[in-house]
Amino acid sequence: ALPILTSQIGPSRLACAFNTSSDQQEGYLPGGSMLIATGTQVGRVSSQGSDDWGRYTWMTLEGKRDEGILVISAYRVSQTKGTRSGPTTAYSQQISHMIREGDTTLDPRTRILKDLRQLITAKRSQGYRPILMMDANEDWTKTGSFRSFVEEMGLVDPLYEKFKDDGITATTYARGSRRID
């Protein structure tokens, strides 16, 4: 697949995350994330990684003045703790990972925020500034765990900062009335 991609868009670096312990090997595979750097940005990629659960992918890019950014693409399941969900859903697969690790909280929505907090904190200590692109399945402008995460990590929403509540960025999905991404 990568040679086809390269012939279509030129030089590129690709990082993908998917559930590495899924029993399914083909067909519908829930969850996952991907990042791609193309063109001149490829030379700036200094490292990349992904989550074995398929929740997020990241790249670090080096700047010209010894500066760097951490770019993260993430997916947070929509189901809340205790939800009954099918065995092939991303939610159920993440619960299985948590059980195997001995994490008895069984709350994938909270766990991804914990793991992203660790990644962002570690990379910040190395001088990287984070850019998080996330299907969070929660409106960060409302009180909740995602808002607490955004505030604790010192993240900002540049679209919200520019447009506030004028309706331009009110929704982030086709049939919705809220911002969840």
pLDDT 10s digits, 33-54: 888 888 888 889 999 999 988 8
Residue 68's pLDDT is: 94
Residue 57's pLDDT is: 95
Quote the pTM value: 0.83
Taking 50 as the pLDDT cut, the residues of the chain under it are 1
Distance CA 131, CA 155 (A): 8
Find tokens 């940005």 and name the residue.
41
Distance CA 72, CA 38 (A): 16
Bridge partners, 59 (sequence order) = 48, 71
Residue 63's pLDDT is: 84
178: left (phi over 0), alpha (psi -120 to 50) or beta: beta
Angle between helices 108-125 and 145-152 (to 10 degrees): 10
Give 100-105's long-range contacts (Cβ < 8 A, gap of 24+): 105/81
Distance CA 64, CA 79 (A): 42
CA distances from 65 to 57, 61, 69, 128 (A): 25, 12, 12, 12
3-state secondary structure 22-68: CCCCCCCCCCCEEEEEEHHHHHHEEEEEECCECCEEEEEEECCCCCE
Q: Are 75 and 56 in contact (CB under 8 A)?
A: yes
Residue 175's pLDDT is: 62
